[in-house]
């Protein structure tokens, strides 16, 4: 039987025969099914909540939380504040661990990844053993181990380790001076921001000059001089608008200054070195993926090993390293939810823990927790995707 020409078919048949139109129809149908299933689930939840005498609302966020949070560096929190304030403290504590953990894990991971390729047999083996041990033990055990070491091995506050009379280390945490910004500090901050922008502009200009002429500037030291010099001049010209609040032993613990609790230190250190071990293997694989001919060509041009690594190997390896690196940053952020095991008051421990038990709002509190981690993950993914696009090869 002869095939019917497309123009003689019906409207639906012609639409389905077009590949682009068919793909749009399939996507619309898929989204309709997903939203229908979601509506069915939400309807079932509403019926079940009504059956047990509950209503779906977030009014509990305005009620007093009536519980203490031991670590709140950004918000002056008391038990008389609302559940919303407690949730904000938990979100900021989660964000603090994620940012500090990502920074420390990146530095440790790159360092161990390079050392893993060292020709020094002893250094290579030590790093290899540490990586294999750490990666094959659950991260929760690392958190509990580091927390136990911090709490049991460090001395009590009255016998705290004195670091120059201004900082102290004890089993209650790390206590250091905290800055007190006075009048004029805002101008210094503005000068610092302008200096950073100028340093970035110089870095871009120096890179363009290097590509066009081959001339290399000491970008790091010049940028450091621009930022440090401009900020120092503004700071001194305005009469040093900065003082320090020093910690002091009062009663059974230190008061004043900046206090980093054992729970934060344990969680930060454990998540950092655990994630760094996976990053190290990613870095090692990225470096090995760069053609050895690139290294030989760099040496033939007279580049020293450190400059070869900085200018030739790592820029090419970075394009391979960044995509899997995103997953490790996301894993670190989500693994911070294990903080509840050692009593660190993150979003899971505050709104998803104590607030949930006090209010009985299981659905609402869990939606808040899920939404927070979803937003954090999307922000990290968006930033890393932008960074990945900025370092990819650009055709000329």
Closest CA to 273 of 115, 100, 46: 100
**How would you write the pLDDT of the chain (396 residues) with one tens digit per residue?**
455 555 555 666 666 767 788 888 888 999 999 999 989 988 888 788 778 877 778 888 999 998 999 888 888 898 899 999 999 999 999 999 999 999 999 999 999 998 998 888 999 999 999 999 999 999 999 999 999 998 888 888 888 888 888 888 888 888 888 888 888 888 989 999 999 999 999 999 988 888 888 788 888 889 999 999 999 998 888 888 888 888 888 878 888 888 888 999 999 999 999 999 999 999 999 888 888 888 888 878 787 877 787 778 888 888 889 989 999 999 999 999 999 899 899 999 999 999 999 988 888 899 999 999 999 999 999 999 988 888 776 655
Range of the structural domain that residue 197 is part of? 178-245
The confidence score (pLDDT) of residue 1 equals 47
Residue 365 in tokens: 């509190």
Q: Count CA atoms within 13 Å of residue 220 on its CB side.
A: 1
* Residue 268 and residue 238 share a domain: no
φ/ψ of 243, rounded to 5, equals -130, 175
Which CATH number characterizes residue 119's domain? 1.10.3720.10
* Residue 163 and residue 88 share a domain: yes
* Residue 380 and residue 276 share a domain: yes
* Residue 188 and residue 141 share a domain: no
In a domain, 60, yes or no: no
Count of domains for the chain: 2
* Residue 355 and residue 224 share a domain: no
* Residue 357 and residue 231 share a domain: no
* Residue 238 and residue 110 share a domain: no
In a domain, 296, yes or no: yes
In a domain, 280, yes or no: yes
Domain end, chosen from 216, 245, 274, is at 245
In a domain, 256, yes or no: no
In a domain, 36, yes or no: no
- Give the separation between CA 122 and CA 49, rounded to whole angstroms: 62
* Residue 217 and residue 169 share a domain: no
Domain end, chosen from 220, 245, 270, is at 245
């Amino acid at each position: 039987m002869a095939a019917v020409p497309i123009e003689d078919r019906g409207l639906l048949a012609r639409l389905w025969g077009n590949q682009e139109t068919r793909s749009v129809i399939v996507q619309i149908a898929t989204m309709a099914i997903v939203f229908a299933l979601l509506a069915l689930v939400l309807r079932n939840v509403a019926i079940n909540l009504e059956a047990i005498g509950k209503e779906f609302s977030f009014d509990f966020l305005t009620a007093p939380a009536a519980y203490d949070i031991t670590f709140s560096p950004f918000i002056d929190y008391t038990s008389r504040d609302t559940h919303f304030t407690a949730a904000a403290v938990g979100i900021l504590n989660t964000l603090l661990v994620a940012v500090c953990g990502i920074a420390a894990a990146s530095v440790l991971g790159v360092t161990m990844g390079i050392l893993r390729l060292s020709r020094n047999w002893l250094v290579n083996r030590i790093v290899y053993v540490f990586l294999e041990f750490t990666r094959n033990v659950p991260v929760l055990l690392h958190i509990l181990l580091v927390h136990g070491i911090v709490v049991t091995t460090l001395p009590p506050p009255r016998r705290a380790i004195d670091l120059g009379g201004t900082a102290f280390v004890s089993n209650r945490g790390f206590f250091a001076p905290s800055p007190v910004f006075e009048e004029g500090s805002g101008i210094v901050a503005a000068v610092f921001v302008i200096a950073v922008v100028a340093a970035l502009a110089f870095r871009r200009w120096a890179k363009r000059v290097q590509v066009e002429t081959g001339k290399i500037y000491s970008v790091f030291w010049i940028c450091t001089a621009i930022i440090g010099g401009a900020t120092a001049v503004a700071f001194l010209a305005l009469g040093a608008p900065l003082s320090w609040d020093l910690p002091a032993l009062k009663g059974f613990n230190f008061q004043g200054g900046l206090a980093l609790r054992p729970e934060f230190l344990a969680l930060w250190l454990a998540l950092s070195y655990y994630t760094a071990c996976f990053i190290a293997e990613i870095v090692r694989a990225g470096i090995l993926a760069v053609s050895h001919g690139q290294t030989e060509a760099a040496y033939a041009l007279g580049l020293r090993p450190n400059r070869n690594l900085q200018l030739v190997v790592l820029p090419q390896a970075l394009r391979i390293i960044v995509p899997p690196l995103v997953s490790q940053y996301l894993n670190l952020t989500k693994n911070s939810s294990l903080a509840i095991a050692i009593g660190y008051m993150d979003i899971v421990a505050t709104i998803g823990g104590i607030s949930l038990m006090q209010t009985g709002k299981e659905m609402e509190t869990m939606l808040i927790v899920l939404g927070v981690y979803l937003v954090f993950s999307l922000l990290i993914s968006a930033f890393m995707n932008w960074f990945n696009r900025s370092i990819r090869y650009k055709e000329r």
